[in-house]
């Protein structure tokens, strides 16, 4: 009988685990890691260097992460559902794979990669829709020791080329096209354009999805179905070192050049399983659904690796929440009996603007736990989610983490630890957050606010930025030496719960008073007219910084009504926070500049507010670059 992974079931368990993790972290993590399948055990649990950013976990260990995601479950869970695929069009047939079937599919894809010359350590770029072959291909790369770099299938050709060239990827995996709501998009055509400036790519493997004719470059491009016709359904897993690269995931950098965040094999594996298992408290027969695209770290850790490492049944959705109507999320939950649901505040807020019947028409009786990810969830959205989706009975887990942390860092554990709306909660055992002042001194006790940093390594942490470790050192470890700096501001309330108040560079200093943008936005969003908002600071002759608010209203506002709406918004801010937080300028907009993961690009809004619109940097990776032009035209 394999060793069982420890799980935290009660708040007493949580407190005990946190104490043990702080007193003897190496012993704690050795215990967490013990039940995995290892080819060879580690010689040391941790080699820490929070100054230089050189941190190693489970040094000397040998393993393959896919043996832990798939092979080790075959004897006990071989016939259990591993992956459910829900298509864009509800009339299209869903696809289901058991653990045994998924294992075979991964081995077949791995053999196709090997037959096409992919070797251990090669970088493989994936630019694919949310179809089963994307999940299978990611695991296939890991099985043969290739480094996967997933690029969201919506980025421009320029963005793909930047990432392919930075990683020096030799192979690209793509599809003929994709479905996104009512649209169909020619994915292969975008890849072809990108690869005109990518000399490192020698092979493109194309998955047929829409049945579209595409241009195939002879000698470079092959169809997956042709390559997979006669391959074996077994493929030995490549032995990997604990610190071998597992994947590179590109995240926006403040310089405009994307950062290739590197995660390695053993530490990421342990962290993905540990956080998934404890935060979501998933039961053996649960259906778990994370709505994130695999192109983002949330999709990596909590759609794919975390659930499969834990032996869970995970749902993958091709579509969008509003197609064919705004009840689609809730229809899918009822259809599959989803028990644990994990989505983004952006999605929740967009659904809040639609008629309530869209959610009330579904029973949602299967739901037990709700999660939120991507940004702090404002109180209004939290209560809507809790009341109308969770029917007042499901805990809402507001998870704080980053691409660089690999997995969840601060969060309530479902049904275990205390929950407060718009608060991430308490750190997971093994995570040691601190709040620092501007000089880097730790702020003790509760009811304090400062810069959020982590003072001890954890297994899932970033190892480097690909090809440029100095960038990683300066960004994450050089700001406050001896700490990992998150770039976020946070408040620790009187109960010791953490509330994220926005990026540090999004903290606005008005006449010596510091306001987190999230705090002001939370108040703005309470106004009856406001659906969503973004707030930035701009130079002010008297206050140092003034507050510029960009707001999306629930219906078009005529020119003659703007003064009344703005007065109402100011009244709400004054009531919620006080006159000192009153916006100096309010601009009503139809949309905000967002990345495709839902992150608002406040860097762009700051430049608009400051009148520096001639140098906005790269806007091609935005969900809708056109919204920036509209905002500039309406600038106050």
Could you write out the DSSP letters of every residue in 187-199? HHHHHHHHGGG-T
Span 233-247, average pLDDT: 98
Q: 433-449 burial string, b = 16+ CB within 10 Å, else e?
A: bbbbeeebeeeeeeeeb
Give SS3 for 158.
helix
Give me the percent of the chain exceeding a pLDDT of 90.
79
Rounded CA gap, 37 and 106, in Å? Answer: 18
Output the average pLDDT for the chain.
93
pLDDT of residue 304: 98
pLDDT above 80 for 510: no
Span 52-74, average pLDDT: 97
CA atoms lying within 13 Å on the CB side of residue 452: 28
- Residues pairing with 251 in the sheet: 259
Which residue is listed with tokens 């976020």?
488
Contact 573, 530 (CB under 8 A): no
pLDDT above 60 for 254: no
pLDDT of residue 502: 74
Higher pLDDT, 502 or 10: 10
The full 3-state SS of 41-104, as one line of letters, equals CCCEEEECCCCCCCCEEEECCEECHHHHHCHHHHHHHCCCEEEEEECCCCCCCCEEEEHHHHHH
Which residue is listed with tokens 């695999």?
294
Run of H or E residues at 413: none
Bridge-based pairing of strands 81-86 and 95-98 is antiparallel
pLDDT above 70 for 191: yes
pLDDT of residue 255: 46
pLDDT above 70 for 417: yes
Give SS3 for 172.
strand
Q: Which residues contact 195 (CB under 8 A, 6 or more apart)?
A: 161, 164, 172, 201, 204
The DSSP code for 420 is -
Quote the tokens at residue 350.
């967009």
pLDDT of residue 602: 84
Contact 499, 423 (CB under 8 A): yes
Q: What is the pLDDT of residues 448-476, one digit of tens each?
A: 999 999 999 999 999 999 999 999 999 99
pLDDT of residue 514: 61
* Helix axes 132-144 and 99-115, enclosed angle (nearest 10): 60
Phi-psi region at 503: left, alpha or beta (left = phi > 0; alpha = psi -120 to 50): beta
Q: What is the pLDDT of residues 323-336, one digit of tens each?
A: 999 999 999 999 99
The DSSP code for 111 is H
Q: What is the pLDDT of residues 256-278, one digit of tens each?
A: 467 899 999 999 999 999 999 99
pLDDT of residue 512: 55
- Domains, the chain, ranges and CATH? 65-490 (3.40.50.12780), 511-633 (3.30.300.30)
Q: What is the pLDDT of residues 521-534, one digit of tens each?
A: 888 998 999 999 99
Could you write out the DSSP letters of every residue in 221-265? EEEHHHHTTT--S--PPPPEETTSEEEEEEE--TTSSPEEEEEEH
Length of the chain: 636
Span 59-64, average pLDDT: 98
Span 54-59, average pLDDT: 97
pLDDT of residue 4: 67
Q: Which residues contact 33 (CB under 8 A, 6 or more apart)?
A: 42, 45, 58, 266, 270, 459
pLDDT of residue 462: 98
pLDDT of residue 178: 96
Q: What is the pTM of this model?
A: 0.85
Higher pLDDT, 602 or 92: 92
Which residue is listed with tokens 């999605």?
347
Rounded CA gap, 565 and 569, in Å? Answer: 6
Cα separations in angstroms, 135 against 58, 426, 473, 482:
26, 31, 31, 37
Burial status of residue 212 (CB atoms within 10 A of its CB: 0-12, 13-18, 19 or more): middle
Span 475-485, average pLDDT: 94
Q: What is the pLDDT of residues 389-414, one digit of tens each?
A: 999 999 999 999 999 999 999 999 99
Q: Using alpha carbons, select from 114, 140, 111 the residue that is nearest to residue 128.
A: 140
pLDDT of residue 151: 93
Contact 270, 406 (CB under 8 A): no
Give me the percent of the chain exceeding a pLDDT of 70.
97
pLDDT of residue 471: 92
Q: What is the pLDDT of residues 101-117, one digit of tens each?
A: 999 999 999 999 999 99
Contact 414, 397 (CB under 8 A): yes
pLDDT of residue 1: 39
Rounded CA gap, 203 and 222, in Å? Answer: 8
Span 230-249, average pLDDT: 98
- pLDDT band per the 50, 70, 90 thresholds, residue 580: confident
Neighbours of 229 (CB within 10 A): 10
Rounded CA gap, 81 and 398, in Å? Answer: 27
Rounded CA gap, 422 and 632, in Å? Answer: 31
pLDDT of residue 513: 61
pLDDT of residue 290: 98
């Amino acid at each position: 009988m394999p060793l069982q992974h420890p799980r935290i079931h009660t708040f007493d368990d949580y407190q005990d685990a946190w104490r043990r993790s702080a007193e003897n972290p190496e012993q704690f993590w050795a215990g967490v890691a013990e039940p995995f399948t290892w080819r060879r055990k580690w010689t040391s649990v941790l080699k820490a260097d929070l100054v230089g950013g050189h941190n190693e976990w489970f040094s000397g260990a040998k393993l393959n992460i896919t043996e832990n995601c798939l092979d080790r479950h075959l004897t006990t869970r071989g016939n259990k559902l591993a992956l459910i695929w829900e298509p864009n069009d509800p009339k299209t047939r869903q696809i289901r794979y058991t653990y045994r079937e998924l294992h075979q599919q991964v081995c077949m894809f791995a053999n196709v990669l090997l037959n096409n010359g992919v070797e251990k350590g090669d970088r493989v770029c994936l630019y694919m829709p949310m179809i089963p072959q994307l999940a299978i291909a990611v695991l296939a790369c890991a099985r043969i020791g290739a480094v996967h770099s997933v690029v969201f299938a919506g980025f421009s050709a320029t963005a793909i080329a930047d990432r392919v060239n930075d990683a020096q990827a030799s192979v690209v995996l793509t599809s003929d096209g994709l479905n996104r709501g009512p649209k169909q998009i020619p994915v292969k055509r975008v890849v072809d354009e990108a690869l005109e400036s990518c000399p490192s790519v020698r092979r493109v493997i194309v998955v047929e999805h829409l049945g579209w004719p595409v241009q195939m470059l002879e000698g470079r491009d092959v169809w997956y179905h042709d390559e997979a016709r006669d391959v074996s359904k077994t493929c030995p897993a490549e032995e990997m070192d604990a610190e071998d690269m597992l994947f590179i995931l590109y995240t926006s950098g403040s310089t405009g050049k994307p950062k290739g965040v590197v995660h390695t094999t053993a530490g990421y594996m342990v962290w993905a399983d540990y956080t998934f298992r404890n935060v979501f408290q998933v039961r053996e027969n649960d259906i778990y659904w994370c709505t994130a695209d695999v192109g983002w770290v949330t999709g990596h850790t909590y759609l794919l690796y975390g659930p499969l490492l834990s032996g869970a049944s995970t749902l993958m959705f091709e579509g969008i929440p509003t197609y064919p109507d705004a009840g689609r999320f809730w229809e899918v939950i009822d259809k599959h009996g989803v028990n644990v649901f994990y989505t983004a505040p952006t999605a929740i807020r967009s659904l809040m603007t639609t008629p309530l019947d869209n959610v009330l028409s579904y029973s949602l009786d299967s739901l037990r736990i709700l999660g939120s990810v991507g940004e702090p969830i404002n109180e209004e959205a939290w209560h809507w989610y809790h009341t109308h989706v969770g029917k007042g009975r499901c805990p809402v887990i507001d998870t704080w983490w980053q691409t660089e942390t690999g997995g969840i860092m601060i969060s309530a554990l479902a049904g275990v630890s205390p929950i407060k709306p718009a608060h991430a909660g308490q750190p997971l055992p093994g995570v040691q957050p601190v709040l620092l002042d501007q000089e880097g001194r730790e702020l003790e006790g509760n009811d304090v606010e400062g810069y959020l940093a982590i003072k001890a390594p954890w297994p899932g942490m970033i190892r480097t930025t690909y090809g440029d470790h100095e960038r990683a050192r300066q960004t994450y470890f050089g700001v406050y030496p001896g700490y990992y700096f998150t770039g976020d501001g946070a408040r620790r309330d009187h109960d010791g719960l953490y509330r994220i108040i926005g990026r540090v560079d999004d903290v606005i200093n008005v006449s010596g008073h510091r306001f987190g943008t999230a705090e002001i936005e939370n108040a703005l969003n309470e106004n009856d007219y406001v659906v969503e908002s973004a707030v930035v600071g701009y130079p002010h002759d008297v206050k140092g910084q003034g507050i510029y608010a960009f707001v999306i209203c629930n219906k078009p506002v005529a020119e003659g009504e703007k003064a009344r709406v703005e007065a109402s918004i100011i009244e709400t801010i004054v009531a919620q926070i006080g006159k000192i937080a009153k916006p100096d300028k309010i601009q009503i907009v139809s949309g905000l500049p967002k990345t495709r993961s839902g992150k608002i690009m406040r860097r762009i809004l700051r430049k608009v507010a400051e009148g520096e619109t001639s140098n906005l940097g790269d806007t091609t990776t935005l969900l809708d670059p056109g919204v920036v032009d509209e905002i500039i035209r309406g600038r106050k």
